[in-house]
Structures are given as structure tokens and as C-alpha cells.
Amino acid sequence: MSATTTTPRESRRALGAGLRATAKVLPEHARAHNRALLLQHLFHAGPTSRADLARATALTRVTVSDLVSVLLAEGLVEELGVRPGRRVGKPATLVGMRTDAYQVVAVDLSDEAVVRGAVLTLAGEVVVRRSLAVDERSGDDLVDLLTRFARRLLSAATRPVIGVGVGSPGVVDPWGRVVEAPNRAWSDLPLAALLSERLGLPVQVANDADTAALGEYTYGGAAGSMLVLTVGQGVGAGIVVDGARVHGAGDAAGELGHVTVVDDGEPCACGRRGCLETVLSAPALRRAVAGLDAAEADAALAAAGRVLGAALAPVVSALNLAEVLLCGPPELLDGALRRAATDTLRERTMPAVGAGLRLRMAALGGDVVLAGAAVLVLAAQLGIS
């Protein structure tokens, strides 16, 4: 109750005020947080001296040295010798994160026919890549398949694995329980808990579009308020707002594929008409441009882009997003469609919002979901994102 003006964002984020129900915080949690702070800085800023880490985090050098010694013992960081360059004072010894000391297993379930997986370093570099045909499996069979697939990936890892991340279609709650994934015949399935028990490792599961958003946010350098639109067999979206993933009231945030965008439009698989998927999914776009010459195809793609722009305008305005990333076949998306969507978005939002907005292709290409699944593990186990 001092007269100093406190900063709402910090207190909200750091201490959890602003939520109806929050967990208690013990001193050891504070330590875990500060440890994550160091890793976060080392991850994004590269090798840093202990003194600079202290300045960056506002912790004292004593505390930083103590934490670093623990991280050194765990093998998560290493000393890299003195910092090059000439300056006054004792030369600093750089400390860097050993992104190759541990590995992460990531699985991408977004494709209906194929399970894709990889072993990645902590820096997100793919070390081993595997895939497996689903062969129409679903339900518990698919969980078994997934378990075997993950075991294969684990044995292919060349370093200790800190966890397994899975990007799955459908509605997934924050604890990795798949609430509903019709195409997989999964409903109320505690996938993360199941896999964690079978594999003996921490397992994180999230929606594939959310995962893609996380991947772009952490490895792709995307802004803290952004939306990733995944265009494949269907259309989905993952949203990061003010640096935090959006879950939504029923954990179904980002389900943009079945918003009506065209009055009296094409019939949709969901039983209604004019859903965004009927215009923007990869199959729909391919149908739209089939047999057309280049100019006609561009016109068709531009039309789809305008529909997309109109649908996104309220979302972009409401959330004041800095970026919208498109994730899908570039030959369809990264041309007339993207240009038309950008123009429409600018036209239909107020300048203050539209001017600061970028609409671009996802930087990580086809590996977004895998990279994001790795980020799930990094965030949960190391506090890095």
C-alpha cells in the first residue's frame, strides 16, 4: 500500500493475481522461476557472462552464480572461456546453453494419414526424422501405435531426452487430455498422462494449431500477439496473446474452420454452409484453381484471400494482433491469396491496428508442428518459451 505505482502486467504475470484460482507459491518455486529466467535469457540471447545475466535478470551476481553452478552440474549450460574483446576489468567467462546436451521427442498428428515425428535438439534442430502410416487406425489402437512410434524415436535419440511433445488435432485441455478429436475417435482421452506413464517421461500434448503457434513464437521469432492459421485438410488457428497461449472457455480456442464466412455458401462437412473451410482449406483451394490459367487462378485465390481478410478483421482488431502467419501449401497461400487478404485486412480495420500488422508465411514451413511440440516440452521442463 505504498504510493508507488505498481505495474499490473508484472504483478499479474509474475504472481498470478488476476485469476480466480491460483496455486500457492513457495520459495522453491521462486527459485525454479529464476532458474528458468536464466535459461530463457541464455536461450534467446546466446552465451552471456554471469555478471551480464545478473544485470539482465535484476538478480544479484551471488544468486546467478549459485544458479549457474547448478545448471553446470546438470549439464544444461557450459563455460565457454573468456569473452573476446578488450575492455577494462577482469575478463568475463561466458556461459552458454548446451542445446545439444539434451534432446526432445516431438510428434505431429495433424496429418490424417501419417504420423510424423522427430528427435530435436533443444535449439529445435531436427536430428532424426521418422514417419509412420496410420492405416486407418483410431481410438486405442492409435494410442498404441503412437506409443510404439514414440519408443522408436526415443531409442533413436543420441542424448538424454527431457520429454515428449505431441501436437494433435481436436480439442485438448491444458493438462494434455484430448477432450474431443473426431477424426481419431478420441474423446476425453488423457493422452499426456497415458503416454507419460507408458514412456516414463514427461509428455505434453496440445492442439496442433496451438503447437504451431508456439513453434513460430519461440523458434520463429514471431510477435507476442499473433495468430497462426494452419491450412491443410481443414483450417485451424493457434493464438498467442500478450505472450501467452489462448485456451478458451472450453479449450477450443482457434476453431476458425467452421465460422460462417459466406452467406449461402458451399455446403460444409459440418452440415452448415459457407464455413471458412469451404473456401480456404487446401482441397477447397485446389478445387477452386483446378483447370484455370495463371491469371484466372490468381483471381480465384484473391477471392479466397478477401474472404479470409474479412473473417480475420474482427479478430485482429479485437486482439490488436501484430502478426498473422499462414501455414500451409505456399503455392496456394503465398501469392495472390496473401496479398488480397493483407489488403482486405488493412481496408477493414482501423489504421492504428492495420498499420502495425504483418501477414506473412510461417517461417518454419512444414516442421512448425514438430518444432512447437518441442517448445511444449521446453516450456514445461525448462521454462523456456
174 binds, among DNA, a copy of itself, none (CB under 5 to 8 A by kind): a copy of itself
Q: Which residues neighbour 289 within 8 Å (Cβ) at sequence distance 6 or greater?
A: 296, 297, 300, 301, 332
Residue given cell 474452420 in the structure block: 257
Of 64 and 340, nearer to DNA (C-beta) is 64
CA dist., res. 361 & res. 333, Å (int): 8
Q: Which residues neighbour 334 within 8 Å (Cβ) at sequence distance 6 or greater?
A: 326, 361
Taking residue 139's Cβ as centre, other Cβ atoms within 10 Å add up to: 12
Per CB under 7 A, does 87 bind DNA?
yes
Of 30 and 45, nearer to DNA (C-beta) is 30
Q: Distance of alpha carbon 181 from its chain centroid, rounded? A: 19
To a copy of itself, the closest distance from the beta carbon of 13 in angstroms equals 5
The dihedral region occupied by 162, where left means phi > 0, alpha psi between -120 and 50, and beta the remainder, is alpha
To DNA, the closest distance from the beta carbon of 375 in angstroms equals 24
Beta bridge partners of 161: 103
250 binds, among DNA, a copy of itself, none (CB under 5 to 8 A by kind): a copy of itself
Which of 3, 90, 263, 271 is the binder for DNA (CB under 7 A)? 90
CA dist., res. 200 & res. 353, Å (int): 47
CB 242 within 8 A of CB 10: no
Which of 40, 49, 121, 204 is the binder for DNA (CB under 7 A)? 49
- Cell numbers given for 38: 536464466
- Cell numbers given for 230: 494452419
Which of 93, 138, 147, 260 is the binder for DNA (CB under 7 A)? 93
CB 235 within 8 A of CB 280: yes
Residue type (1 letter), 169: P
Which of 36, 78, 91, 99 is the binder for DNA (CB under 7 A)? 91
* Pairing verdict, β 103-108 and 323-327: unpaired
50 binds, among DNA, a copy of itself, none (CB under 5 to 8 A by kind): DNA
Taking CB under 7 A as the criterion, which residues in 16-45 touch DNA? Answer: 24, 26-28, 30-31, 34
Per CB under 7 A, does 84 bind DNA?
no
Taking CB under 7 A as the criterion, which residues in 363-382 touch DNA? Answer: none
Taking CB under 7 A as the criterion, which residues in 273-332 touch DNA? Answer: none
To DNA, the closest distance from the beta carbon of 42 in angstroms equals 13
CA dist., res. 319 & res. 310, Å (int): 15
- Window contacting DNA (CB under 7 A); options: 88-96, 146-154, 212-220, 289-297: 88-96
Of 48 and 103, nearer to DNA (C-beta) is 48
To a copy of itself, the closest distance from the beta carbon of 180 in angstroms equals 8
Per CB under 7 A, does 51 bind DNA?
yes
Which of 52, 108, 251, 323 is the binder for DNA (CB under 7 A)? 52
Of 50 and 346, nearer to DNA (C-beta) is 50
Of 20 and 87, nearer to a copy of itself (C-beta) is 20
130 SS3 class: strand
Residue of 226, 224, 258, 259 whose CA lies nearest to 243: 224
To DNA, the closest distance from the beta carbon of 32 in angstroms equals 8
- Binding interface with DNA (CB under 7 A): 24, 26-28, 30-31, 34, 49-52, 58-63, 65-69, 82, 86-93
